[in-house]
Structure 1
Amino acid sequence: MKPEEIRKLEQFFKEKFQRPNMQVKRRPQKDDSAEVYMGDEFIGVLFRDDEDGDLSYNFQMAILDIDLPE
Structure 2
Amino acid sequence: MKPEEIKKLDAYFKRTFNPQFVVKARPRKNDSAEVYAGEEFLGVVYVDDEDGDRSYNFSMAILDVDL
Tell me the TM-score normalized by structure 1.
0.92
5+ unaligned residues in a row in structure 1: which ranges? none
Cα deviation, 1:15-56, whole Å, max 9, x if unaligned, reads: 111x11110000011100000000000000000100111100
2:3 corresponds to 1:23: no
Taking the TM superposition and a 5 Å limit, the aligned residue runs for 1:1-70 are 1-17=1-17, 19-68=18-67
1:62 partner letter = A
Structure 2: any 5+ residue segments left out of the alignment?
none
Deviation at 1:4, TM superposition (A): 0.6
RMSD of aligned alpha carbons: 0.6
Kindly report structure 1 stretches of 4+ aligned residues shifted beyond 3 Å: none
TM-score w.r.t. the length of structure 2 is 0.96
Q: Larger radius of gyration, structure 1 or 2?
A: 1
Equivalenced residue count is 67
* Secondary structure of 2:44 counterpart: strand
